[in-house]
Amino acid sequence: MKEMSSTMPSGQQPQKHYGITSAISLAPPREIDHQYTDKLCDAMKPFGVFEDEDELNHRLAVLGKLNNFVKEWIAEISELKNLPPSAISCVGGKIFTFGSYRLGVHTKGADIDALCVAPRHVERSDFFQSFFEKLKQHEEIKDLRAVEDAFVPVIKFKFDGIEIDLLFARLALQSIPDNLDLRGDSILRNLDIRCIRSLNGCRVTDEILYLVPNKENFRLTLRAIKLWAKRRGIYSNMLGFLGGVSWAMLVARTCQLYPNAVAATLVHKFFLVFSKW
């Protein structure tokens, strides 16, 4: 799903195209397409695929608290490891989200996939011991459990009613700035395989969002396709069907092939393209 541009004849501006082939159609949406897209939204509403403003704000507040929590914990660990005060004040630490929440297609009551990114002096064992203990002391946190020997190790908990799966990655950096971008491959150098796996979710999600022509059209289309797949019982990695990331990639590719289309058209084209491929 790489991003490319092709040159146009007679000195026109190059037409940016997404993916490794040019678009199938650059046609803009017609009035009827917008109407169908509105109808598509209305048809999805009864299935609880859209969160209201209050729920969205609640999630943002919980993630904000968790982010502060991580920064606090990393500063405490840094102090224990005798880092100088000047270094402790800027060690940072950050929570990144990935999966359906980061893509902006999560449904009501869905869990949040998140990643705790720490600087190089914070060990994985610190995360599963001292951070786990710190979470345990917090009254808003319930159902806390650690799955340390999983393929991708995780701490699972409910924070003020929202389920969170928290992974851990330790980067080869002295500090973690707030504006850190995980997309560059250079950050993977000299990392433990478990950290690379933990980073994968965020990197794939960010890459998908970067490579679609219009994020809103992509999100609405993906919501529709996910709902369709779930209603038909074919949305599950564990049962041998496609999981969330796979459906997202298929929808992203459809968006690349029809960069100017709106969601109603994209849903139609999705089935057209993949029934033929």
Residue tagged active-site, from 78, 165, 198, 258? 165
Q: How far is residue 233's CA from residue 231's CA, in Å, rounded to a whole number?
A: 6
List the domains of the chain with CATH numbers: 31-49+212-275 (1.10.1410.10), 53-192 (3.30.460.10)
Element (H, E) at 125: helix 124-126
Q: How far is residue 121's CA from residue 125's CA, in Å, rounded to a whole number?
A: 11
pTM of the model: 0.88
Pick from 245, 251, 199: which is nearest to 220 by CA? 251
> Is 54 tagged catalytic?
no
Element (H, E) at 163: strand 162-170
> Is 165 tagged catalytic?
yes
Q: How far is residue 244's CA from residue 54's CA, in Å, rounded to a whole number?
A: 25
CA 259, 263, 269: angle at the middle one, nearest 5? 70
> Is 111 tagged catalytic?
yes
Residue tagged active-site, from 18, 33, 100, 198? 100
Contact between 254 and 266 under an 8 Å Cβ cutoff? The reply is yes
* Joined tokens for residue 201: 């979710």
> Is 143 tagged catalytic?
no
Residue tagged active-site, from 18, 94, 226, 258? 226
Interval 33-62: pLDDT, tens: 999 999 999 999 999 999 999 999 999 999
At 172 the three-state DSSP class reads coil
Q: How far is residue 219's CA from residue 105's CA, in Å, rounded to a whole number?
A: 6
Q: How far is residue 189's CA from residue 120's CA, in Å, rounded to a whole number?
A: 12
Bridge partners for 162 per DSSP: 159
| Whole-number pLDDT of residue 6 | 45
Contact between 170 and 118 under an 8 Å Cβ cutoff? The reply is yes
Residue tagged active-site, from 111, 156, 158, 230? 111
> Is 235 tagged catalytic?
yes
Residues of the chain with pLDDT under 50: 5-13
Element (H, E) at 62: helix 53-80
> Is 100 tagged catalytic?
yes
Sheet holding 94-98, edge to edge: 94-98, 112-118, 162-170, 154-159, 141-147
